[in-house]
Amino acid sequence: MKKFKWFNVLIVVCLVTLLAACQNPLTMLLGDREDLDVSLIIDHGEHAQDGMRETVLYYRDEKGMLIPVMKKIPWEEGIARGALRKLVDEEFLREDLQAVGLLPILPEDTEVIGISINDGLSKVDFNEKLLNYATEVEEQAIVQSIVYTLTEFESIDQVQILVNGEVLNQLKFGTRVDLPLQRENINLSGIIDDNNIPVVVYYKSTNNGMDSYYVPVTKRIQGLKVDIKSAIVAQLEGAPEGSGLYSELPEGVLVNDVFVKEGIAYIDFTAEIKRMPNNKDLQQSLVYELGFTLKEIEPSISQVRILSGGSEIELSSGVNLNLPSYTNPF
């Protein structure tokens, strides 16, 4: 019996020694390749159904504004690489997006040579076709789209862009890419300095007069910290001049108060809110504009209720107060 016990002890000691020698068993299993796409390991496909994954991609409109679009793409190993491929300009995608007035982001024939994800940092190596663009607007849209699309994955916080294995100091119109990038000031309106702070609000846009979509815009406000009321105040200031964006909020309306309880946002406006059109679709858009803006600050918000003078106003029949999971399902 003692011999049997000593044999078990010997096995345990051997196992402990082996594990101690392997600082990272996962690394030993996969190897140390820099270009290994580990997104399958980190992202477990919780959004995947029937072989398709709900994935938020960032395209642009004709003015270069970045638009978040949820598309279902085929689930595959290395889903982050698959998401980037859905940004590349090709005939089918161009025709698909043209129906709603959007454009692909990455230049034609752009390829992802390699991608790695480690401790929240994704390094992405593209071929030289990534640089085949002609304007500063395109350059900024390309960089922001790559960063925002990849950081939609919970495992990625920062992105390092490489071209043919090299880290560039800056792109041809001056955009710095020598350091890892993170989400910052999408569709910026104005200049953010030491005297103000950024807040993201949502407006609407349409390119064909029929289909519309919601656009995040970074505006500036004075203060030390963004709260839900200051976000609505910024939204009420209106869309940036010349942007082509618009809002369903009636002119002259002000906000009295905003508070959240059990995931429901209650927004109390002045009496001007009652001037909103008696139209189900327009009122629905208004609910979503407000809701998407507030979710940027408090993601737990799932419903919006509109009040005036402390009393909830009656909306058209069929208006859904619950917020959708994605801003622009496609």
Give the model's pLDDT for residue 192.
87
Give the model's pLDDT for residue 29.
25
pLDDT band at 211, cuts 50/70/90?
Answer: confident
Give the model's pLDDT for residue 78.
85
Give the model's pLDDT for residue 306.
98
pLDDT band at 21, cuts 50/70/90?
Answer: very low
Angle formed at CA 312 by CA 306 and CA 318, multiple of 5 degrees: 70
The CA distance from 224 to 247, in Å, is 27
Give the model's pLDDT for residue 39.
38
Give the model's pLDDT for residue 191.
87
Query: Parallel, antiparallel, or unpaired: how do β-strands 66-74 and 158-163 relate?
Result: unpaired
pLDDT at 80 over 90: yes
Domain map (residue ranges) of the chain: 39-163, 197-312
pLDDT band at 330, cuts 50/70/90?
Answer: confident
Average pLDDT over residues 9-37: 38
Contact in structure between 85 and 104 (CB atoms under 8 Å): no
pLDDT band at 14, cuts 50/70/90?
Answer: very low
pLDDT at 11 over 50: no
Average pLDDT over residues 150-164: 97
List the helix and strand counts (H, then E) for the chain.
Answer: 8, 12
Share of the chain above pLDDT 90, in %: 73
Q: What is the DSSP letter of 184?
A: -
The edge-to-edge listing of strands for the beta sheet with 66-74 is 48-49, 52-60, 66-74
Give the model's pLDDT for residue 49.
64
Pick the CATH number of 197-312 from 2.60.120, 3.30.300, 1.10.287, 1.10.1740: 3.30.300
Average pLDDT over residues 258-283: 96
Residue, of 15 and 66, whose pLDDT is higher: 66
Residue, of 136 and 3, whose pLDDT is higher: 136
Q: Tell me the per-residue pLDDT of 96-142, one tens digit each, with 9 for 90 and over.
A: 999 888 999 999 999 999 999 999 999 999 999 999 999 999 999 99
pLDDT at 315 over 70: yes
Residue, of 304 and 11, whose pLDDT is higher: 304
Q: What is the mean pLDDT of the chain?
A: 86
Give the model's pLDDT for residue 99.
86
Contact in structure between 113 and 35 (CB atoms under 8 Å): yes
pLDDT at 188 over 80: yes
Query: Parallel, antiparallel, or unpaired: how do β-strands 311-312 and 303-308 relate?
Result: antiparallel
pLDDT at 231 over 90: yes
Sign of the alpha-carbon dihedral angle for 241, 101, 286, 70: negative
Residues 6+ apart with CB under 8 A from 17: none
Give the model's pLDDT for residue 38.
43
Residue 282 C-alpha from the chain's centroid: 25
